[in-house]
Amino acid sequence: MIRILDITLKDLTQLMRDAKTFMFLLIMPILFTLLFGYASGAFSSNKSDSRLPVGYLNEDNRWVAQSLHDILADSETIRLVEYSSATTSDLEALVTDGKLAAAIIVPRGYGQAMLKNKTAHLIVIADTGSTAWITIQAETLTAVSRLDGALRTATIADDMLGDRAPFRYAFDQTLAAWQDPPIKVVETTSSVVPKVTGSGMSLAHTSPGMMLQFSIAGLLTAAQVIVVERKSRTLQRLLTTSVRRIHILLGHYLAIFTLIFSQFMILIAFGQLALKVEYMRAPGATLLVAFSAALCISAMGLLIGIIAKSEEQAVILSIVPMFLFSGLGGAWVPLEVTGETFQLIGHLTPVAWAMDGFKNVIVRGFGLDSVLIPAAALMAYAILFFTLAAWRLNVSEER
């Protein structure tokens, strides 16, 4: 054990001689997290409206048209952009330029036609080949159906009940009933789990993503230490002593693990305190994922150091998995928004499992049980990489 610690301390001393490297591993993930955060509006105080912008021009002065406007204005999928004076050509230009998803024009006589139960037409300007049109069409038809249903109900009530249910009263009551339908779907969130806003969701993804990406970048220096040791024949001299190969591997491995795990702890603390990312929602779960990810990435660095024959090879063998694993593993783009095939391929990388573990805690509000499988997968990768490193060392030295 003392020999292992001696090798570990020697590597750590060598790594820490260049303070710029260690600062790079801390500053770069912080800068990239802030950069992606600003790009996604995570630090903006303005609330965004994700509803589709739809132009609205009312050329009819009857109260029926105003009722249609009120129904559409309460929509959760479209946002009315009202125009008091505009021409059809103006609205067509706005839709063509992409400034509006569509435009609705209520022509003169629309309200009167609806009251007399005659055919009434709205003028809708839209790109019928776009995906937004399906949503706008459905929402517009729903609004018109509600208006028509309320008018018919009010007419029947007025004919049957007379003064006991005046037309406007029955009409207003019918429309109001749509606000509280007998069956509706309500999205609820446990009070134990704080609701994550869109901006918080962005940081909840970029913070662990950049942390994982630049932890792999840290293997550049760690792997080079092993390469230099081999090139200077220090490793060969160690092998002629009573120090066992497994002790040498464990010593190097523990040094890399200490570097990576320390980086994780500092960045997690920064994310929790400065960015308000809920790493500490389940401290034990977060610690287990960080520990497992550090074990995995450290074993990868050990393997790279054993395989690489020069510092240049160590750089290439560190940069390639950094970009490959980060891109496929969801560090840049959430795997949830990709297809099933890409998700399957992504989970062949350890980064995807680490992202799953962190986001189970940060975003989904789960506890320790939810990270057991991601942690097990990361530890399996760690065992695989360490075994390959031990095998490669034996093969190279036997030559």
Question: What one-character-per-residue DSSP string does 342-391 give?
Answer: HHHHHTTSHHHHHHHHHHHHHTS---GGGGHHHHHHHHHHHHHHHHHHHH
Q: Considering the chain, what percentage of its residues have pLDDT values greater than 90? A: 34
- Give the separation between CA 144 and CA 122, rounded to whole angstroms: 9
Q: CA angle 68-71-77, nearest 5°?
A: 125
* Mutual angle of helices 311-329 and 283-307, in 10-degree steps: 140
| Predicted confidence (pLDDT) per residue in 292-321, tens digit | 999 999 999 999 988 988 888 888 888 998
For residue 81, what are the β-bridge partners? 55
pLDDT given for residue 238 in this prediction: 65
Q: CA angle 293-7-236, nearest 5°?
A: 110
| Predicted confidence (pLDDT) per residue in 129-165, tens digit | 888 888 999 999 998 898 888 888 888 887 787 777 7
Residue whose entry in the numeric block shows the structure tokens 């409206």: 49
Domains (range + CATH), the chain: 2-42+202-398 (no CATH), 52-177 (3.40.190)
Question: For 181, what's the count of Cα atoms within 13 Å in the CB-facing half-sphere?
Answer: 6
pTM of the full structure: 0.67
Longest distance between any two alpha carbons in the chain, whole Å: 108
pLDDT given for residue 387 in this prediction: 95
